[in-house]
A and B are shown apart, each in its own frame.
Chain A
Amino acid sequence: MKQHMDYYRQMLRIRRCEEQIGWLFSRGLTMGTAHLSIGQEASAVGVMAATRPDDYAVSTHRGHGHLIAKGADPAMMLAEICGRATGFCRGKGGSQHIAVRELNFLGTNGITGGGLPVATGAALYAKTRKTGQVVLSFFGDGASNQGTFHESLNMAAAWKLPIVYVCENNGYAMFTPTCDVTSVVDISVRGAAYGIPGVKVDGMDLLAVREAAQLAILRARTGHGPTLLEVKTYRFCGHSKSDNGTKYRSREEIAEWEKRDPLRTWRARLIEEGVSEAEIEQLEADVELEMAEATRFALDSPYAEYEALEGVYADESARRYLPGFFNSSRDAAMAVEVSA
């Protein structure tokens, strides 16, 4: 039961946090762009529920959910999105470029398909060093038409790398329906081309996502190589802050998916399982407060003003041995060996 409450809390934290992001942009309190994953929360939370804390994750332009599900502090994330010095990347990255070193979160990415090869490389590390870590490589249906998708799957399959390619298929790549420009209906069938399992799962069903992810992760962790996991989902909002998502999608279609809102169905499930309305409302109030405080933290934080020109290369002091940016404690041990 506690676990099921936790899942609700995580999904709700993502949703409320992204609502704050939408609000910040609509009020002109931050600029640039951001892509919300409202509607897709069960994918992020379901997949992460099957991971180990030291597993790697690589994300996309639509990555806030992945970040929060992996444990990133929403306050620091919002600060980054507001360009503040207290953000994960000191305001240099913004929504599309957030990495969190302590969490082995290797970054959101602004280039469609840009993350898959990087994720594959992290899996190569885990395999080479036998760390037992698995890599979760998130990307969209649109990205599965990039060469990087096909090249990465082939490489990971050929080398049996510990990685799960998680395709969050929300039916659209920006404003183009995926079915207009894609050779297959289910991206998961593309796994067959690389001799790996291709699994399709209902992305509005958190437990189904978790179960499919558990199997794929087990396979990866036990040396059997990659899986292509397709999560069928939907974004309730626009592609980015520049559209409201209705020009290229019918209101009926959106309404149809909203009926299956993963938060609403999960909440109903909790009630069925005997959680009291009061307990749920308490949780909801806690999350509300957390996000209000996170937003205040972001907006009260200062900008980094004088470091625009710093940080392009390693500092002189780091030159002799630069510990792997995201590596495990094994690496720290190796670093000591090397420098000794």
Chain B
Amino acid sequence: MATKTYREALNEALREEMYRDPNVFIIGQDVGKFEGAYRVTQGLLAEFGPKRVKDAPISEMAIAGAGIGAAMAGLRPVVEFMTINFTLVAIDQIVNNAAKIRYMFGGQVSVPMVIRTPGGGGQQLTAQHSQNLENWYANTPGLKVVAPVTPADAKGLLKAAIRDPDPVFFLENLALYNTRGEVPDEEYEISIGTADIKREGTDISLIAHSRMVNVALQAAQRLQDEEGVSAEVVDIRSLRPLDTETIVNSVKKTNHAVTVEEGWTTFGVGGEMAALLADQAFDYLDAPVKRVGGEEVPMPYSKPLERAVIPSVDKVVSAAMEVLA
């Protein structure tokens, strides 16, 4: 195994899938000549040419729609949106078309399309550029939503997403692109719909996705070092479909749970986890589930204000101690 960045892992997955299947193509703003606003598509235009790597105008609605139509007709588009915030311009196409076309049309056509986009805040990019909206998409039947945190998961899940017969919303994170991790050398794929235990523990389950898995891992270490608490970190990894079994089994073992998400908790991922646990692990819970998430405000700009709003290791540790109290 070699150590690679999250960005490199994504780039490899794209390159390998483009070699494997000539129907796979990339469309998005600055994905070609500039090689990606965050350099994920580096080298691909040179390697595959402008038919397979298409620079698009600033027309998110049309970009999403073009992906959908091309997918219905038989291509395998990988649509890149510069950030998740700009998917809002395209959300009608994603929710009203991509998600519904297979079902609505009685199974005659499908939309094998991937939407790749980074979410998240913490870079002082302010209210319109720091959002976490994956729960909006995870709320929508017909879409699949994955949110890998490690380079290995990113590569394996992107391959699975590209091969999937249905539209997959593939969430990345601005703060993850430069993070490193081991990536298998051999060909592999990670099934959509599988969660992953990122750290084993016995006292409490910290349930998170995307970048917040790393925050949960840091919190788990602190809990171990400072409080002698053994925390298990459950990486949801796939928001829809959800691997309920792995999540529920973890809590059956630890009897305590804290959920961690970067976005707003109201109507969010943690709420869904709490409902799942109430439904399937009620008798195993020794305390109510606690949710940690972003404060319920548009992201403020200045560093102190932003810091006050974003979930932190501190907040996860204190929530865990409250649950265990």
Contact A247 B34 (CB under 8 A): yes
> Apart from A176-B30, A176-B55, what 6 extra A-B contacts exist at CB < 8 Å?
A83-B301, A146-B59, A247-B34, A305-B304, A308-B297, A308-B306
Q: Is B249 positioned at the interface, with any CB of A under 8 Å from its CB?
A: no
A59 to chain B, nearest CB (A): 14
B298 contacts across to A, CB distance below 8 A? 312
Other-chain residue from B59, B123, B297 in contact with A145 (beta carbon distance below 8 A): B59
Is B126 within 8 A of A93, CB to CB? yes
A82 CA / B301 CA spacing, docked (Å): 9
Task: Contact check, B303 vs A309: say whether CB atoms are below 8 A apart.
Answer: no
Which residue on A lies nearest to B60, using beta carbons? A146
Residue from the list A91, A97, A111, A182 in contact with B305, Cβ < 8 A: A91
**Closest chain B residue, CB of each to CB of A143:** B58
Distance of A171 Cα from B297 Cα, bound (Å): 36
Residue of A nearest to B31 (CB): A176
For the complex formed, measure the closest distance between the CB of B37 and the CB atoms of chain A, giving whole angstroms: 7
> In the complex the two chains form, is B300's CB within 8 Å of A308's CB?
yes
B222 at the interface (CB under 8 A from A): no
Measured in the bound complex, the distance between the Cα atoms of B85 and A112 in whole Å is: 11
Q: Do A309 and B301 touch across chains, with their CB atoms under 8 A apart?
A: no
* Contact A182 B309, CB 8 Å, known A110-B128, A312-B297: no
Q: B97 at interface (Cβ–Cβ under 8 A)?
A: no
Is B125 a contact partner of A175 (Cβ separation < 8 A)? no
CA distance A134 to B128 in the complex (A): 27
B55 touches A181 (CB 8 A): yes
Binding site for A on B (CB under 8 A): 29-30, 33-34, 37, 55-62, 85-86, 89, 123-129, 295-298, 300-306, 308-309
- Which residues of A line the B interface, CB within 8 A? 31-33, 80, 82-84, 89, 91-94, 96-97, 109-114, 142-143, 145-147, 173-176, 180-182, 247-248, 303-305, 307-309, 311-312
10 cross-chain CB contacts under 8 A:
A32-B126, A91-B302, A92-B127, A92-B302, A93-B301, A97-B127, A113-B58, A175-B30, A182-B57, A305-B305
Q: Please report the C-alpha to C-alpha distance between residue A247 and residue B33 in the assembled complex, in whole angstroms.
A: 10
Residue contact A180 to B55, C-beta cutoff 8 Å: yes
A135 to B296: give the CA distance in the assembly, Å: 33
Given contacts A83-B305, A92-B302, A247-B34, contact A142 B57 (CB under 8 A): yes
- Contact residues in B for A182 (Cβ distance below 8 Å): 57
Pairwise interchain contact B129-A96, C-beta atoms closer than 8 A? yes
Contact residue among B29, B301, B304 (Cβ-Cβ distance under 8 Å from A94): B301
Establish whether residues B124 and A303, one from each chain, have CB atoms under 8 Å apart when the complex forms: no
B30, A92: Cβ atoms closer than 8 Å: no
Q: Bound state CA distance, A194 and B296, in angstroms?
A: 41
A174 to B56 Cα, complex, angstroms = 12
Distance to closest chain B CB from A312 (angstroms): 5
In the bound complex, how far is the Cα of B214 from the Cα of A137, in angstroms?
Answer: 43
Residues of chain A within 8 A (CB-CB) of B86 are: 111-112
**Which residues of A lie under 8 Å from residue B60 when comparing CB positions?**
146
Cβ–Cβ contact B33 & A248, under 8 A: yes
CB of B302 within 8 A of CB of A147, answer: no
Cα A125 to Cα B304 in complex, Å, equals 37
A142 smallest CB distance to B (angstroms): 4
A302 CB to nearest B CB, Å = 10
Tell me the smallest distance from the CB of B131 to a CB of chain A, in Å: 11
B29/A176 in contact, CB under 8 A: yes
Instruction: Contact check, B29 vs A174: say whether CB atoms are below 8 A apart.
Output: yes
Smallest Cβ-Cβ distance to B126: which chain A residue: A94
Q: Which of A80, A143, A147 has the most chain B CB within a 10 Å cutoff?
A: A147
Residues of chain B within 8 A (CB-CB) of A109 are: 128
Q: Which residues of A contact B57 (CB under 8 A)?
A: 142, 145, 173, 176, 181-182
Of A97, A114, A176, A311, the contact of B301 (CB 8 Å cutoff): A97
| Distance in Å: Cβ of A236 to nearest Cβ of chain B | 19
Q: B58 contacts which of A32, A80, A173, A303 (Cβ < 8 Å)?
A: A173
Contacts of A143 in B (CB 8 A): 58
The answer to whether A147 touches B128, judged by C-beta atoms less than 8 angstroms apart, is no
| Residue among A92, A182, A304 having the largest count of chain B Cβ atoms under 10 Å | A92
- Bound CA span A215–B224, Å: 71
Hey, which chain B residues are within 8 Å of A93, CB to CB?
126-127, 301
* Nearest CB of chain B from residue A23's CB, rounded to whole Å: 17
A312 surroundings in chain B (CB, below 8 A): 296-298
Given A32-B126, A146-B58, A308-B297, verify A303-B302 contact (CB < 8 Å): yes
Contact B300 A91 (CB under 8 A): yes
Closest-CB distance, A100 to chain B (whole angstroms): 16
Closest to B128 in A: A110
C-alpha spacing A32/B299, complex, angstroms: 12
Complexed CA–CA distance, A220 and B279 (Å): 61
Q: Would A110 and B297 count as touching, CB distance under 8 A?
A: no
B297 adjacent to A97 (CB under 8 Å): no
**A94, A145, A307 interface centre (most CB from chain B within 10 Å):** A94
| Minimal Cβ-Cβ distance residue in B for A98 | B301
Residues of B within 8 A of A304 (CB): 302, 304-305
Given contacts A145-B57, A180-B55, contact A308 B295 (CB under 8 A): yes
User: What residue in chain A is nearest B123 (Cβ atoms)?
Assistant: A32
Given contacts A83-B302, A84-B302, A175-B34, are A97 and B61 in contact (CB under 8 A)? no
Instruction: State in angstroms the CA–CA spacing of A145 and B57 once bound together.
Output: 6
